[in-house]
Structure 1
Amino acid sequence: MLFKVEMVVNIPLDADPAVMDAIKKQEKEYSQNLQKSGKWRHIWRVAGQYANVSIFDVESNEELHNLLLALPLYPYMEMKVEALCRHPSSIREDDR
């Protein structure tokens, strides 16, 4: 199942920079592992914002939910999730 996930990160101004640096490091490692596994297929930064648009390829709504909740920056995020399906005009066979 494919999902588009829009993530906006809102770190409080009074957050401890050292703590946030550690969380960001964990976030990068976690997200890159999901990308290597094929679960997180695409990620794009939104220019001028601390935000991204991502495509996930997972087995179920519950799997996506659990992956997103495990994001180290999750407590600081606002998300919008939309289910996707293959367009009949797509030439990509791996768009399922």
Structure 2
Amino acid sequence: MLYLVRMDVTPPRDMPEEEFSRIKAREKEYALGLQRDGRWRHIWRVVGQYSNYSIFDVSGNDELHQILQDLPLYPYMTIAVTPLAAHPSALPGQ
């Protein structure tokens, strides 16, 4: 199943920069692994915000939920999930 996910990150203002940098490094490694195995298909920045839009290709709601919960930045995120379905006007294979 495909999902469009928007993630907005808001770290605590009093979080030390070194700690935040360590969390971001773990986040990047985790995200790269999911991209390499094909579950995190696309990721785009939202210009001017600490946010992204991503496309996930996973087996269902439970798998996506677990992936999102395992993100190191998850405690500092607001997340919106939109399940996607094929559009009848799309070219075959899209």
Say how many residue pairs are matched: 94
**What residue number does 1:44 align with?**
44
2:54 is paired with a residue whose SS is strand
User: What secondary structure, in the 3-state scheme, does the structure 1 residue paired with 2:18 have?
Assistant: helix
Length-normalised TM-score, structure 2: 0.96
Does residue 57 of structure 2 align to residue 57 of structure 1? yes
Unaligned runs of 5+ in 2: none
CA distance in 1, matches of 2:37, 2:92: 20
Matched residue of 2:52: which SS?
A: strand
Cα distance in 2 for residues equivalent to 1:11 and 1:92: 42
Moved over 4 A (4+): none
Q: 1:44 to 1:92 in 2, by over 3 A?
A: farther
Deviation at 1:50, TM superposition (A): 0.2
Measured in 2, the distance between the counterparts of 1:89 and 1:25 equals: 40
> Which residue number in structure 2 is paired with residue 80 of structure 1?
80
For 1:69, the aligned partner's letter is: Q
Question: Which amino acid in 2 is paired with 1:47?
Answer: V
SS class of match (1:31): helix
The equivalent of 2:13 in structure 1 is 13
- RMSD between superposed Cα atoms in Å: 0.9
- 1:13, CA displacement in angstroms? 1.2
Q: What CA deviation, in whole Å up to 9, does each residue of 1:37-94 have, x standing for no partner?
A: 110000000000000000000001000000000000000000000100111121251x
Task: Report percent identity of matched pairs.
Answer: 52
Aligned to 2:89: 89
TM-score computed with the length of structure 1 as normaliser: 0.94
